[in-house]
Amino acid sequence: MSVVLSGMLMSLSIHSAAATYFSFVVLIPLFVAVRVCRPWQGAVCGAIWGLTLLASSRTGFGQSIPLTPATVFALISLPAAYVGLGAALTGRIGFSPFVLAVGWMYLEAALSPTGALNHSEYVGQDWTAWFGSMIAPLLVGFCIALINAELLRLTTACVCQGTRVAPKTVLPEESHFDYQQLIRIAHCLRTPKARAPPIL
């Protein structure tokens, strides 16, 4: 459900100036899937997110995305690959906001021909003009993804610290005395006997 809401708010924040501030938190459900899901589960969440983005745009919840087989395939497969690979990589190296932000740049670049992430003005350009005109939006996307991932990391750290279980206090009647350990300590602390001088 949170992934569906994320896709809807992403569509709204891209194409509405009044909802731009949603972009600073809208990717958190997607990154939660990256952090806690298995790769195949993350891929399913990514596909749902992409379909929600497409459906939201087609129902007037943002700018309309062209409904073509290539667009539908891209909006299903590319977010699915991003979240699935992110989940697999997180399982190996841990949750890395920087890596996820770099991957988000690649996802935005790959989705730019569809116009899904507000890059429709770059469709049809040659690769040099595309790269020059896309570098600024991609850097903005990098910063937004990094902020979302860092917010998730910090929130998770605070929650984990707040719910940390205090160590159990051992009551006197529950404690036990280790006589063998006492004997070993006494053996180490005893004064060594004096040795005779060496024979010359």
Residue by residue, what is the 3-state secondary structure of the chain?
Answer: CHHHHHHHHHHHHHHCHHHHHHHHCCCHHHHHHHHHCCHHHHHHHHHHHHHHHHHHHHCCCCCCCCCCHHHHHHHHHHHHHHHHHHHHHHHHHCCCHHHHHHHHHHHHHHHHHHCCCCCHHHCCCCHHHHHHHHHHHHHHHHHHHHHHHHHHHHHHHHHHHHCCCCCCCCCHHHCCCCHHHHHHHHHHHCCCCCCCCCCC
Q: Would 186 be classed as within a structural domain?
A: no
Q: Would 27 be classed as within a structural domain?
A: yes
Contact 40, 85 (CB under 8 A): no
161 DSSP 8-state letter? H
> What is the domain count for the chain?
1
Q: Would 8 be classed as within a structural domain?
A: yes
- Categorise residue 124: left if φ over 0, alpha if ψ from -120 to 50, beta otherwise: left
Q: Would 194 be classed as within a structural domain?
A: no
pTM of the model: 0.71
Higher pLDDT, 51 or 62: 51
82-103 residue pLDDT tens: 999 999 999 999 999 999 999 9
**What is the overall mean pLDDT for the chain?**
76
- Ranking 25-29, 44-48, 107-111 by mean pLDDT, the lowest is 107-111
Q: Would 50 be classed as within a structural domain?
A: yes
106-147 residue pLDDT tens: 898 888 766 666 544 444 555 555 555 667 778 888 999 999
Q: Would 54 be classed as within a structural domain?
A: yes
Q: Would 189 be classed as within a structural domain?
A: no
CA atoms within 13 A on the CB side of 191: 2
- Domain at 16, CATH number: 1.10.1760
Which H or E element spans position 89? helix 69-93
> First and final CA of the chain: distance in angstroms?
90
Range of the domain at 109: 2-154
